[in-house]
Amino acid sequence: MSAYFAFKAEPGLATDLEYVLARLDEHSPEPQAELYVKMSMEFTDSVLKTILLDLVKAMGSKSGILEQLAGVLRGTMHMLLRQLLSKRSNSELEKAAVYVHARRRYRNGDVYIAIPIPDTLRTHFETVFTEIDAGRGESNREELRVAMSQFVDQAVVSYFDEFVAALQPGFILGKAAGMARATIAKGAHAAMNKMIPQLTQAELQGMADYFDQFLLSDPEITVKP
């Protein structure tokens, strides 16, 4: 059984994703770069909203750490996406679209964005969440921090590294991508390391309840609708 972190795509993203992929799969002669940039930005914004911004709301936290991080990452990624995608030919985008196909899943007819996570990481999360549910969250902050650190590493690989690799960016754009990656990874780790040790039991419970809903396995989500 494969484990995933998967969330439902918002209607605008789901529509644009399905449309752009269909046009590329059909080898449409019309340039798709502009639409691909738009879809990729929506994709990025949805990831940040799910993992960072909506998490803050679920925790009931007044901390601005994750909001600040989301702003930095959004600006970094939007700039990089324009650099990487705006001048791409359809044939180049068709190769890159393999990445998006790999992230797309379905659940109850809805489009989901999914990244694989190791079974050991899902088990780690479930163990920590059980402790939090039992009221022992504050004594398990470090275990949660470790799990989230591992998740950050997996997310950077699945959302960033594999996306960039599919584009075959070349030396100059590859350097720009490397700098962006460093900003993302360093910022995400720093935010989790600073935030989690300060969370109260109530905030930890909100985080566990929110995050747990996205940990899915086959056949809960499928490749085809």
- Of 156, 137, 151, 155, give the one whose Cα is nearest residue 196: 137
Q: Where does the pLDDT of residue 214 fall: very low under 50, low under 70, confident under 90, or very high at 90 and above?
A: very high
Q: Where does the pLDDT of residue 224 fall: very low under 50, low under 70, confident under 90, or very high at 90 and above?
A: confident
pLDDT over 90 at 73, yes or no: yes
- Of 133, 136, 105, 129, give the one whose Cα is nearest residue 212: 129
Q: Residue 35: what pLDDT?
A: 92
Mean pLDDT, the chain, as a whole number?
Answer: 93
Q: Where does the pLDDT of residue 111 fall: very low under 50, low under 70, confident under 90, or very high at 90 and above?
A: very high
Q: Mean pLDDT, to the nearest integer, of 76-104?
A: 92
pLDDT over 90 at 219, yes or no: no
Tokens found for residue 139: 């004594």
pLDDT over 80 at 61, yes or no: no
115-164 residue pLDDT tens: 999 999 999 999 999 999 999 999 999 999 999 999 999 999 999 999 99
Contact between 194 and 64 under an 8 Å Cβ cutoff? The reply is no
State pTM to two decimals: 0.92
pLDDT over 70 at 1, yes or no: no
Tokens found for residue 182: 């460093």
Q: Mean pLDDT, to the nearest integer, of 178-198?
A: 94
DSSP the chain: --EEEEEEPPHHHHHHHHHHHHHHHTT-SS--HHHHHHHHHHHHHHHHIIIIIHHHHHHT----HHHHHHHHHHHHHHHHHHHHHTT--HHHHHHHHHHHHHHEEEETTEEEEEEEE-HHHHHHHHHHHHHHHTT--GGGHHHHHHHHHHHHHHHIIIIIIHHHHHH--HHHHHHHHHHHHHHHHHHHHHHHHHHGGG--HHHHHHHHHHHHTTEEETTTSBS--
Side chain identity at 34, as an amino acid letter?
A: E
Q: Residue 218: what pLDDT?
A: 82
Task: Please list, residue by residue across 103-134, b when 16 or more beta carbons sit within 10 angstroms of its beta carbon and e when fewer do.
Answer: bbbebeeebbbbbbbeeebbebbeebbebbee
